[in-house]
């Protein structure tokens, strides 16, 4: 009885001391009389049979929830994947020693994902799928940016928040846009007005009509001021009285043609800006700290401008956010601030989003405007008299017709050899002294001398292009 009690207490003490002994020695000192671990890859729901060179007495698993092991015969072990993860399988021989160590990685089943991708995207044959126990990697290429989020959306439910996207969008991603802003404006203006002034020889008795401000009388009434609209004067003296007629007779026809063709290139998804014009100063009055007034200058741009952001959806479709603008200075509507004359701006601006195919054109904006304006200023009763009533009224008629069209054309482009690209300055020949001073010629005669381009100076590389050119159908 005493011996049994001593054995029990000895076993308990040894059990309690084992962890401290292991911690003191360290795991790195533990040596196994076996070969290096072998690696096996399994898929969830799949199984393999491992053949052992020695008889297996028992099998131990680090993570039984990942792999299920079953000894079929002393030389065969059945391994089945249960859940994604990594575990170690240890085989023990009949002599109670470790015969083999197996590192098993269980990956998710991607066969269903592949089948669904093939069924939903039959033309996307370049997608590659690689799965591990903790992530899913999608690589390869897709045909358009529209397909990319769709593929990721299909893969996400299979591996929530574990999808790694390494896919690229194939094809050309540089977009060149051509915008045409064409405007025709016709204007017709007709004016007819009369003002009358009469006075006797000593100037004491006089009379003047100031209709429509064609003439202006001084406070004393002895002199008259003329407006810029007066273009004819008729005067005569009869019976000691001086008569003067101030006439405003004008017929004006105007024609305006505006054609702007800005061209711009940028990458898909990137914004590009273009401005051909200038900036005019605008004085801005500001109150200083001492109560005085200071003038600061701000610059406002004008001219032909273009801002657009393309997105290449596929080799046959381009989404564009486009903002073309054509503006010019208008001094007829200028204002004066602190002695400075500030012109107004006549602007044609468009902002829209469209989808077009490569090389297709679309009229993104247009306007047809027909404006008629008539104005009659007259004296009561006298202005309604036939024939003579024209002397007592001022009439104006104005008609404006405007037609504006904005057309956008996108192109998918790739580089081009600079030696094959012509420039606007290529045909120019500088005149010599005789041609310039004696004959007054601004351009000389003969063949232009072209300096070698950087592309011609260096050695060509096979398959390399420079500049830009519209790619062929098979190259996209």
Give the CATH number for residue 78. Answer: 2.60.40.1080
Q: Which residues contact 459 (CB under 8 A, 6 or more apart)?
A: none
Task: Kindly tell me the sign of the dihedral angle through the C-alpha atoms of 42, 48, 51, 57.
Answer: positive
Let me know if residue 25 belongs to a domain. no
Q: Which residues contact 202 (CB under 8 A, 6 or more apart)?
A: none
- 3-class state of residue 368 by DSSP: strand
Per-residue pLDDT at 130 exceeds 70: yes
Whether residue 387 sits in one domain with residue 288 = yes
pLDDT in tens, 256-282: 787 888 888 888 888 988 888 889 888
- Residue indicated by tokens 């009690």: 5
Let me know if residue 406 belongs to a domain. yes
- Residue indicated by tokens 């200038």: 278
Residue where a domain stops, chosen among 180, 214, 249: 249
Give the mean pLDDT of 95-116: 85
CA distance 476 to 473: 6
Let me know if residue 305 belongs to a domain. yes
Residue 457 parent element (H or E) = helix 454-457
Q: Which of 77, 79, 74 is nearest to 94 (CA)?
A: 74
Let me know if residue 369 belongs to a domain. yes
The residue that leads in pLDDT, 47 or 11, is: 47
Let me know if residue 422 belongs to a domain. yes
Phi, psi (deg, nearest 5) at residue 16: -75, -30
Residue 439 parent element (H or E) = none
**Predicted confidence band at 1 (pLDDT cuts at 50, 70, 90)?**
very low
Give the mean pLDDT of 10-14: 44
The residue that leads in pLDDT, 206 or 318, is: 318
Residue where a domain stops, chosen among 89, 107, 125: 107
Per-residue pLDDT at 388 exceeds 50: yes
Whether residue 312 sits in one domain with residue 268 = yes
Whether residue 383 sits in one domain with residue 302 = yes
What does the DSSP assignment read for 250-289?
A: EEEEEEEEEEE--EEEEETT--EEEEEEEEEEEEEEEE-T
pLDDT in tens, 29-61: 323 344 567 888 888 888 888 888 888 888 888
Give the mean pLDDT of 184-194: 84
Whether residue 401 sits in one domain with residue 368 = yes
Whether residue 362 sits in one domain with residue 298 = yes
Bridge partners, 312 (sequence order): 318
Tell me the chain's radius of gyration from C-alpha atoms.
46
pLDDT in tens, 332-342: 888 887 777 88
**Confidence at residue 7, expressed as pLDDT on a 0 to 100 scale:** 47
Give the mean pLDDT of 77-84: 86
Let me know if residue 33 belongs to a domain. no
Whether residue 407 sits in one domain with residue 263 = yes
Per-residue pLDDT at 161 exceeds 50: yes
Whether residue 388 sits in one domain with residue 328 = yes
User: Which domain covers residue 232, as residue numbers?
Assistant: 195-249
Cα dihedral: 228, 232, 193, 227 (round 10): 20
Share of the chain above pLDDT 70, in %: 80
Q: Which of 364, 345, 342 is nearest to 355 (CA)?
A: 364
Give the CATH number for residue 114. Answer: 3.30.1340.30
Whether residue 287 sits in one domain with residue 217 = no
pLDDT in tens, 197-256: 777 766 565 666 777 777 766 655 555 667 777 777 777 777 767 777 777 887 788 887
Q: Which residues contact 222 (CB under 8 A, 6 or more apart)?
A: 203, 206
Whether residue 368 sits in one domain with residue 263 = yes
**Confidence at residue 29, expressed as pLDDT on a 0 to 100 scale:** 32
Whether residue 144 sits in one domain with residue 261 = no
Per-residue pLDDT at 418 exceeds 70: no
Residue where a domain stops, chosen among 363, 395, 412: 412
Whether residue 271 sits in one domain with residue 395 = yes
CA distance 117 to 114: 5
Q: Which of 31-40, 82-91, 381-390 has the lowest mean pLDDT?
A: 31-40
Q: Report the alpha-carbon angle 55-58-60, nearest 5.
A: 130
**Confidence at residue 165, expressed as pLDDT on a 0 to 100 scale:** 92
Let me know if residue 266 belongs to a domain. yes
**Predicted confidence band at 473 (pLDDT cuts at 50, 70, 90)?**
low
Question: Residue 227 has what DSSP assignment?
Answer: -
Backbone torsion region of residue 440, taken as left when φ is above 0, otherwise alpha when ψ lies between -120 and 50, otherwise beta: left
Give the mean pLDDT of 432-441: 86
Task: Kindly tell me the sign of the dihedral angle through the C-alpha atoms of 205, 210, 214, 219.
Answer: positive
Whether residue 374 sits in one domain with residue 289 = yes
C-alpha separations of 291 from 3, 285, 286 in Å: 110, 12, 10
Question: Residue 223 has what DSSP assignment?
Answer: -
- Residue indicated by tokens 């063949």: 447
Q: What is the pTM of this model?
A: 0.54
Number of domains in the chain: 5
Let me know if residue 312 belongs to a domain. yes
- What is the end-to-end Cα distance of the chain in Å, rounded? 92
């Amino acid at each position: 009885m005493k011996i049994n009690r001593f054995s029990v207490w000895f076993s308990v003490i040894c059990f309690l001391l084992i962890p401290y002994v292991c911690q003191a020695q360290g795991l790195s000192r533990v040596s196994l009389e076996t070969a290096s671990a072998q690696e096996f890859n399994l898929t969830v729901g799949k199984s393999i049979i491992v053949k052992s060179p020695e008889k297996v007495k028992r099998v131990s698993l680090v993570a039984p929830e990942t792999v299920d092991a079953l000894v079929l015969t002393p030389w065969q072990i059945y391994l089945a994947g249960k859940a994604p993860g990594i575990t170690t399988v240890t085989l023990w021989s009949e002599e109670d020693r470790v015969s083999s160590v197996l590192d098993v990685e269980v990956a998710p089943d991607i066969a269903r994902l592949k089948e669904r991708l093939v069924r939903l995207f039959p033309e996307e044959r370049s997608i590659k799928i690689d799965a591990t126990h903790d992530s899913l990697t999608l690589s390869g290429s897709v045909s358009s940016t529209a397909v990319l989020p769709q593929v990721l959306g299909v893969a996400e439910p299979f591996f929530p928040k574990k999808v790694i996207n390494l896919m690229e969008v194939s094809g050309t991603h540089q977009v060149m846009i051509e915008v045409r802003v064409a405007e025709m404006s016709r204007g017709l203006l007709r004016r007819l007005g009369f003002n009358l002034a009469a006075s006797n020889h000593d100037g004491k008795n006089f009379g003047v009509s100031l209709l429509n401000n064609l003439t202006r009388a001084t406070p004393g009434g002895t002199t008259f001021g003329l407006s810029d609209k007066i273009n004819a004067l008729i005067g005569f003296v009869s019976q000691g009285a001086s008569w003067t007629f101030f006439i405003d007779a004008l017929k004006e026809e105007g024609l305006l043609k505006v054609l702007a063709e800005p061209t711009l290139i940028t990458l898909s998804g990137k914004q590009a800006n273009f401005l051909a014009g200038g900036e005019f100063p605008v004085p801005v009055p500001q109150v200083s700290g001492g109560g005085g007034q200071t003038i600061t200058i701000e610059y406002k741009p004008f001219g032909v401008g273009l801002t657009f952001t393309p997105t290449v959806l596929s080799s046959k479709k381009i989404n564009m956010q486009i903002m073309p603008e054509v503006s010019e200075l208008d001094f007829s509507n200028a204002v004066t601030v602190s002695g400075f004359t500030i012109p107004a701006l006549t602007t044609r601006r468009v902002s829209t989003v469209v989808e077009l195919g490569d090389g297709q054109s679309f009229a993104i904006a247009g306007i047809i405007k027909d404006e008629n304006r008539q104005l009659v200023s007259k004296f009561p009763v006298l202005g309604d008299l036939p024939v003579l009533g024209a002397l007592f009224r001022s009439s104006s008629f104005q008609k404006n017709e405007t037609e504006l069209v904005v057309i956008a054309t996108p192109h998918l482009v790739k580089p081009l050899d600079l030696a094959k690209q012509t420039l606007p300055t290529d045909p120019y020949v500088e005149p010599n002294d005789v041609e310039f001073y004696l004959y007054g010629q601004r351009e000389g005669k003969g063949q232009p001398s072209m300096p070698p381009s950087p592309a011609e100076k260096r050695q060509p590389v096979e398959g390399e292009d420079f500049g830009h050119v519209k790619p062929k159908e098979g190259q996209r």
